[in-house]
Structure 1
Amino acid sequence: MLILVLLSAIAPAYADKLVAVQNPWPPYLGPELEGQGLSGQIVREALRRQGHELEIRFLPWARALRMVKNGGADLLVAAWWTQERSEYLRFSEPYVQNNLKFIKRKSDSFEYAGLQSLSGKRLGLIRSYGYGDELTNAKNYHKVVNLDLVSNIRMLLAGRIDLTLEDELVARYTMYQEDPVLLNTVSFTERALNSKWLYVASGLRHPKNKEYVAAFNRGLKSMQEDGTLERYLQQLTPAQ
């Protein structure tokens, strides 16, 4: 009996097992990645420090966003803030920064110089991504919407679009995994559209949204203070 009491005293006491839904987005997230990706590792550790287990289930982005919005899952592990999303999601403190850059054919001399430089361009976007209200609301370019980056890259190389857009690290990783030759056929603009932070988010319809986001924030602060977060972020070295 004494042994059982001692074991229960040193075992982690988990308040809740949280379920997050998310699209595969390597190297930040993916079922085949170590720790399910960098974001998976950071968010899981932050929540563990607050007594929560985390299960990540991988779904298409639009479906994952809809589930969390409607309270059908506890969290999104990696989401960009937009004004529209803030109307139905509670966002955490930010933990990783993305640099969204335009991707072009290597032979293309285009350089991004503000929204006006996109005039007449066919831009490949991904459905339900939060690129920012300024780009989303602009009317001077042609939007071509696809389900994923690889589809946009294929259309770019086939001449069916002029540009696509993604976090540079994600794009390099995705193209390398799909076909390393792709990296030699495209290039990135020097200037980014914007730098966007990643957040954990919970739907405002979820009865524990405030509790779960606060728990992540406390765990994240602890990781910042002891250097754990910085050690994770050192993994973010873009492929050349």
Structure 2
Amino acid sequence: MKARLTSNLRREAAILLLSLTLAQGASATVENDKSPIKIALGERPPLASADLPDYGPLAQLIREAYRLEGQQVELAVLPWPRSMQLVRDGHWTGSGIWLKNPKRETEFLFSQPVVEEHQVFFYRKNQPLAWMQLEDLSHLVLGGLQGFSYGAAFDSALTDGSLTMERERSDLQNFEKLLRNRIDAYPQELRVGLWVLGTLPRHSQEQIAYHPRPYLEEPAYLIFGLDQEAARDSFDRGLAKLKASGRAKELLDGGAAGMEGPLPRSN
């Protein structure tokens, strides 16, 4: 009788211990689920920049999208190549904003489209730019950003040597080279280019124009590690809610307001 009682007590103690262990594991899982999602942004003023309040309207859109899904997000503005590598290595959850290309689609998960980009060529007014197709630019030296994709056709032309590009770390460096006649044209998203030029002296701005024909019009996305499907899906759900309510347009259009500036198009 005594042995049977002892055996029952041991069994009940074991069950209690197992229950406590499972409860602690569940609690830890909940805590892990609440850990901040980490998104690295590249310099993309007026949408995202370390110099903008709270990193700019794109950062605010990301915060609000995750907040609608009950999740926290940690944001930072980092150099473009580093931000992508941090996601590739699994140190950060995601990064933005990026264009799609075949290589990236094998390495990352892509969100739903975040913003439509309009890529144009900036050039010196004393050296007018006339082009109809990319091959017309083969005699020019173009500026570019490290780690950037310029769309499938453009990237292919760079790879096979049909186009020549000198890459720098920042937009400002590229515009300085353009002003000093060290490059002939600089491809950049229209809003971004106008914003950066607006930080230069007026006499410098007056030397630059942009061609009205975009060489690329495509959506840009957040990218996520291949094991971050839950974080990607959560962002997509929040983004869809922001788009449906008009809040996404309000944020992104607000970031672009006043960016046209005095800079002329080419005739």
User: Partner of 1:199: helix, strand, or coil?
Assistant: strand
Change beyond 3 A, Cα 1:180–1:19: farther
Partner of 1:173: 195
CA distance in 2, matches of 1:201, 1:153: 28
Aligned-partner residue type, residue 178 of structure 2: L
Determine if the alignment matches structure 1 residue 162 to structure 2 residue 184. yes
Partner of 2:260: 239
Q: Is the 8 A contact 2:145 2:168 kept in 1?
A: yes
Q: Which has the higher helix share?
A: 2
Q: Which has the higher strand share?
A: 1
**Amino-acid identity (%):** 22
Partner of 1:18: 37
**Which of 93-102 and 132-141 deviates more?**
132-141
Q: Is the 8 A contact 2:42 2:97 kept in 1?
A: no
TM-score of the pair, normalised by structure 2: 0.79
Give the aligned CA root-mean-square deviation in angstroms.
1.6
CA distance in 2, matches of 1:143, 1:19: 32
Q: Is the 8 A contact 1:103 1:186 kept in 2?
A: yes
**Which of 230-239 and 58-67 deviates more?**
230-239
CA distance in 2, matches of 1:44, 1:91: 18
Partner of 1:89: 108
CA distance in 1, matches of 2:202, 2:35: 41
User: Partner of 2:244: helix, strand, or coil?
Assistant: helix
Partner of 1:192: 214
CA distance in 2, matches of 1:168, 1:182: 17
Structure number with bigger Rg: 2
**Pick aligned residue for 2:249 from 225, 230, 239:** 230
**Pick aligned residue for 1:113 from 132, 144, 148:** 132
Aligned-partner residue type, residue 97 of structure 1: E
Once the two structures are TM-superposed, the CA of residue 211 in structure 1 deviates from its matched residue by 0.2
Partner of 1:72: 91
**Which of 210-219 and 76-85 deviates more?**
76-85
* Deviation readout 1:76-121 (Å, 9 max, x if unpaired): 1322211111111100000211111011001222133111211211
CA distance in 2, matches of 1:163, 1:32: 26
Determine if the alignment matches structure 1 residue 122 to structure 2 residue 141. yes
What number of residue pairs does the alignment pair up?
224
Partner of 2:3: none
CA distance in 2, matches of 1:156, 1:234: 28
**Which of 161-170 and 26-35 deviates more?**
26-35
TM-score of the pair, normalised by structure 1: 0.88
CA distance in 2, matches of 1:16, 1:148: 32
Aligned-partner residue type, residue 150 of structure 2: Y
Once the two structures are TM-superposed, the CA of residue 71 in structure 1 deviates from its matched residue by 0.9
Determine if the alignment matches structure 1 residue 221 to structure 2 residue 243. no
Q: For structure 1, which runs of at least 5 residues remain unmatched after alignment? A: 1-13
Once the two structures are TM-superposed, the CA of residue 160 in structure 1 deviates from its matched residue by 1.3
Q: Is the 8 A contact 2:55 2:77 kept in 1?
A: no
* Deviation readout 1:97-149 (Å, 9 max, x if unpaired): 11110110012221331112112110111111011121112132222111111
Partner of 1:40: 59
CA distance in 1, matches of 2:196, 2:253: 19
CA distance in 1, matches of 2:237, 2:147: 29
Q: For structure 2, which runs of at least 5 residues remain unmatched after alignment? A: 1-32, 262-267
Once the two structures are TM-superposed, the CA of residue 178 in structure 1 deviates from its matched residue by 4.2
User: Partner of 1:26: helix, strand, or coil?
Assistant: coil
Q: Is the 8 A contact 1:68 1:74 kept in 2?
A: yes
User: Partner of 2:117: helix, strand, or coil?
Assistant: strand
User: Partner of 2:211: helix, strand, or coil?
Assistant: strand
